[in-house]
A and B are shown apart, each in its own frame.
Chain A
Amino acid sequence: MARRLRIKIDELKTDLGVLKGVELQVGKIVEEWEEPEGPTPMPSIADLRRWDYKLLQRYKPMYMPFCDLCCLCTFGKCDLSRDKRSACGLDMATQQSRIVLLACCIGVSTHLAHARDLVEWLIERYGRNAPLDLGTQVFLEAPNIRLVTGIKPRTLGDLEDALDYVETEVARLLACCHVGMEGSNLDFESKVFHAGMLDHVAMEIADIAQTALLGFPKADPEAPLVDIGLGVIDASKPVIMVIGHMIEPSVGIIDYLEEHGLEDAVEVCGLCCSAHELTRYSPKRGKIVGPISWQVRFVRSGVPDVVVIDEQCIRTNIHEEAKKVGAVTIATSAKNMQGFPDLTHEDPDKIVELLISGAIPGAFIHEEEAEKIGEVAVKAAIKLAPKRMKYKKPPSKEEIMQIAAKCRQCGECVRACPNNLPIKEGMMAAKNGDFSKLAALHDLCVGCLRCESACPVDIPVVTVMVKAAERIFKEEKFKIRVGRGPVQDVEIREVGQPIVLGEIPGVIAFVGCANYANGGREVAEMAEELLKRNYIVTVSGCAAMNIAMYKNEEGRTLYELYPGRFDAGGLVNVGSCVANSHISGAAIKIASIFAKKNLRANYAEIADYIHTRVGACGIAWGAMSQKAASIASGFWRLGVPVIVGPHGAKYRRMLLGRKDREEDWYVYDAFTGEKVWAGPVPEHLFYAAETKEEALVMAVKLCMRASDTTKGRAIKLSNYIDLHKKFFGTLPNDLHLFIRREADIPITMKDEVIEFLKKVGWKERREVPNPTLLEELVRKK
C-alpha cells in the first residue's frame, strides 16, 4: 500500500535559526500487508463493468418514468415519450438511467463530503496518526475500504487516500451525466453500481473515523438502551434539539454541558441521524425524538428552545418554523448556511445576545468550532427557555376547533398529501369537536407540509394535527439500543457458516428514511415477524427509530425483547446512515473471515461470493432520499437485493429478474466448470413492493441463495411457504423453482408440497455447492 509521509513541526530550533509551523509531505511510502493485492485496486468506472453486466443480464432494468421530459439543457425541454429521442440523442430508457445515476451521485457526494469534513475535523483534534481502533473484537476494521481501494487503513490519515480516490471517481461519474456523454442505459446502470460501491466506502470512512475517535460503542452488542419519543423530553428544562447527520455540534454541546456541570440542567435531543450520533457519543445525556419526518411536528410542539441544524434531510425552512414558536436556530454546516450571518469568529456571548434579541434570523457557526456551537446553544437555551413556556403547552380544544372551522372542504390538502390522507374528513370532525380522526392521521403523516402549501385559506394543517394528537404523543416513551457500529469478527466467525449454508435463514436490513405509505408501524411489524423467525435483523437510520416506537402488550419495544448480537434472532442497530457500511461490511466479512477469500482489491470475486452464498436482503421501506438510492446501489453491486416501499417506485427504475426464463438462472459449478441451473435466487435485485405483506414474503424469498444446503434451503422454504400461506392463503405458485431435491422440502410441509410438485411436473435437479457467475473462478484442472 502506498502511504503519504507527512511531518509537521510546530517549532524547530537549529544553528541556522528557528523554524515554525513547517509541514513537509514527501510523496507516499509503499507499505505492504499480508494479503496479496487483487485485480482491481481503486477501480475506475470501467473496471468492474463486466461484473455489472453479469448482474444486469439477470436483473434487467424496468423503467417507470416519473417524468416524460428532459429539461437538463437548453436544447430542451425534450419529449422522450415512447420511441422519441431528445435533441442530444437520448431515449427514454437511457434518460431514466441517467437520472438514477444523477441521484446516486448526489447521494454518494453527500456521504463523501460528510466524511471529508469529519475526517478533517478529527485530524485537527487528534492528528493524522490517531489510530483507527475499533475495539478488541474488530480486526477487519474497514471491509469496504480494503475491498475497493486495497488500502488497509490504520490511522486517520490513511483515510485521506481513500477519500481522494472516491472524490476522483465521483467527479468522473457526474461528468457522465453531461449532455453528449453516455448513450447506453446499461452503461449508465453500471455507473450507478459504481456510485453505490463508492458510497459504501465513503460511509465507512465517516463511521470508522468517528467510532474510533469519539468513544462511540465499538461493535458492542450490548450497547445501552436509550430513550426515544416525544414524551422522553423534559419540557420544563431548556431544550436543545439537533437535526441532521453530523456529530460535531453534539460533541460541542455535550462537552460544554459536562465541562460546566450543566448536564442535568439542559435537555439535549435529536432527530434523524444526528440523534443516533448524539446517543452514540453520549448515551447518558442524549435523547432521541424520532425520525426525520418528526422534525416539523416537534418544533411546532413548542418544546425545543434552540434548534441546531447541520446537514442532510433537514427541512430547508426549519428556522422559519422555529421562529414561529419563539425558538432560535444555529446552522453549523457550510453546506447548509440558510442565509444566516457567519458568526464563526464572533464572541459567543455576543452571538447569544443577537439570537435572543431576534436581531438575526439565525446564526451560522462553522462545525469546526464545535466548542463554540456548544457554548452558544447551551447559553441561548438557558436564557430563552423561561421566556418560551407559553409555547410548550398544548392548546385548548376551542383553539383547535376555531382553526378547523376555517376549512372550506375543498380537498386540495388531500391531493397534496403524498399518501392522500383523509385530512378533509379529519378537519370536518375537528370543527365539530371530534379530534380523533385528525389525531389518527398523526402516525401516518410524513411531515412534508404539502397540505399547508396547498391550503387556500392557510390552515396550518400539521399544527392542528399535532395539537389534536399532542396529549397522546407527549406521553409516549420508548427504548432504542444505541448504534453499535461494526459487527465483530467473532460474530461473523460464529454465524458465517450457518448463513452461507442457509441454516440462519437470512440477514435482513431495515434501512433508510421515513417516507412511509402507511406509517412507521409497518417497519416494526415486519422486523418483529422476522425476528420471531430467527433472521438476523440489522437496522439503521430512521428505520431503526421507527422500529423502536411501538410496544408489545407488555409495554416493551423490540430492542428490549431481542438481543443486539449479530446472530439469529438478533436486532442489530448499527447506527446512523453512514453506519450502513457496517451492514455491507458484514457481508464482505463473511466472505473474508468465514470463507477466507482474499479481500484486498478483489471486488468481483467477493461480490460473486455474496451474491451466490450470503442470504441477505435490504428493506428500505420509507426510502426517500438520493442517499438511499446510492446506499441501495452499493448493495446491488454486491449482489444483495433491496426492497423499497411503494414510494420507492419513484426511483423510476427496478432491477427485476424473470423466474419464468430458465436460461437466466444458470451458474458455473466452480469445481467442475459445468453450467448448472440454480433457480431464480435471488429473484430480483431492486423491487418496490405495494404492501408490507408482499415485502415480507418477497424478503424471505430473496434470502435464498444458490449455495444453500438442503437443510438451509428447507429452513428458508419453510419461512417462505409459511408467510405466503399466512398472507396469501396458499402455497406459493413458484415453489417448484426453489426446490432442487426432495430433501429441500420442509419436513412438516412435505405432503402438501409433494402434491403441488406433482401437479406442476417438477423434476429433481442437482445442488450447486460452489456456485459462481464468473468463469475465471472455475478451478483449473
Chain B
Amino acid sequence: MMRDELTGQIAEIPGPIKAFVLREPRRVAAMLKGAGRLLIVVGNNVKNYESEDFDAIDFVVNLAKSLNAHINVTGPLITKFREKDYNKIYLMPALETIDRLRDNTWSGFDGEGRYNMAVFIGFPYYYEWLMLNGLKHFAYKWLRTISLDPYYHPNATFTLPSMDLDKWRSFMKEVLDLVRR
C-alpha cells in the first residue's frame, strides 16, 4: 500500500471494494465535470481546512457554482453559506441525507431527479467512513461518491490520497481552476 493510501484512522481497514484514488487535480476536475447531477454534502469540519489564504466556504460555493451543483450543508455552517450569492444551498442533517441518497426514488432537493454523484467534504473521518460505506453497499447502482477531504477514504467511489493541509489547499485551488475552465 502506498503511504498516501493510509486511512485517516489507523484501524479503519477497508473492505474488498476500495475507492479509486484520484492523485491529480485534472482527474478530480474531470470526474466532477462529467458527473451529471451533483450534490455536495458539506460537514461542519470543513472550517478546519481554512487558512489565511483559503476560505473553505468560498471554495465549496465556487466549486458548486462552476458545476451547477446543489450544496447540502449539514450543520450550523449553513448560516455562513447563506451569506454567499448562490441559490442552490440546502440544509439537511447528514444521516438524513444518506437516507435520501440510498433511496433511488428520491428526486433531490429541487424535485428534478436523483443525483448521480455525491461529493463529501468536512466530516469527522469515522463518520464519513460510515456514511460512505452505507452508500457503497446500498446505493451503488445509481450513485457514485467522491470524497474531497484531505484523507484517503476507501469507501467512496473516488477519493483523494491522504495529504497534508497545505498541499491539499493547493490541490483544491487547482481543481477549482480546472473546473472553471
Contacts and interface: CB of A to CB of B under 8 A. Distances in A.
Interface of A: 62-69, 79-82, 92-93, 412, 415-420, 450, 454, 517, 646-647, 649-650, 652, 654, 656, 658, 687-691, 693-694, 698, 727-730, 733
Contacts of A689: 93
In the A-B complex, list the 4 residue pairs whose CB atoms are closest, starting with the nearest: A68-B15, A64-B134, A64-B130, A729-B79
Interface in B129-143: 130-131, 133-134, 136-138, 140
Interface in B91-108: 91, 93-96, 98-99, 102
A545 B105 CA distance: 45
Nearest to B96: A656
A82 B140 contact: yes
A38 to B, nearest CB: 35
Interface stretch (B22-30, B58-66, B118-126, B169-177): B118-126
Contact of A63 (B79, B94, B124, B138): B138
B36 interface: no
B10 A454 contact: yes
A81 B16 contact: yes
Given A65-B133, A66-B130, A649-B127, A79 B15 contact: yes
Nearest to B131: A64
27 contacts: A62-B99, A62-B134, A64-B98, A66-B130, A68-B17, A81-B17, A415-B6, A417-B9, A418-B126, A646-B124, A646-B127, A647-B126, A649-B126, A649-B127, A649-B131, A654-B95, A656-B95, A687-B95, A688-B127, A690-B43, A690-B44, A690-B94, A690-B123, A691-B76, A728-B76, A730-B91, A733-B91
Contacts of B9: 415-418, 420
B7 to A, nearest CB: 8
A412 B91 contact: no
Interface string B160-181: 0000000000000000000000
A755 B10 CA distance: 51
Contacts of B44: 690-691
B148 interface: no
Nearest to B6: A415
Contacts of A417: 9
Contact of A688 (B16, B43, B95, B138): B95
A698 B130 CA distance: 20
Given A690-B44, A690-B74, A62 B6 contact: no
A194 B95 CA distance: 25
A349 B135 CA distance: 62
A63 B10 CA distance: 23
B150 to A, nearest CB: 11
B91 A728 contact: yes
Nearest to A649: B130
A394 B123 CA distance: 37
B137 A450 contact: no
B137 A68 contact: yes
Given A646-B127, A729-B78, A64 B133 contact: yes
A617 to B, nearest CB: 15
A68 B96 contact: no
Contacts of A729: 78-79, 82
Contact of B137 (A63, A420, A454, A517): A63
B10 A416 contact: yes
A705 to B, nearest CB: 20
A653 to B, nearest CB: 10
Contacts of B7: 415
Given A69-B16, A418-B126, 11 more contacts: A62-B95, A62-B134, A63-B137, A64-B131, A65-B137, A81-B137, A649-B95, A654-B95, A688-B95, A690-B74, A694-B93
Nearest to A688: B95
A231 B136 CA distance: 49
Nearest to A81: B17
A421 B126 CA distance: 13
Contacts of B16: 68-69, 79, 81
B10 A415 contact: yes
Contacts of B43: 690
B11 to A, nearest CB: 8
A730 B89 CA distance: 13
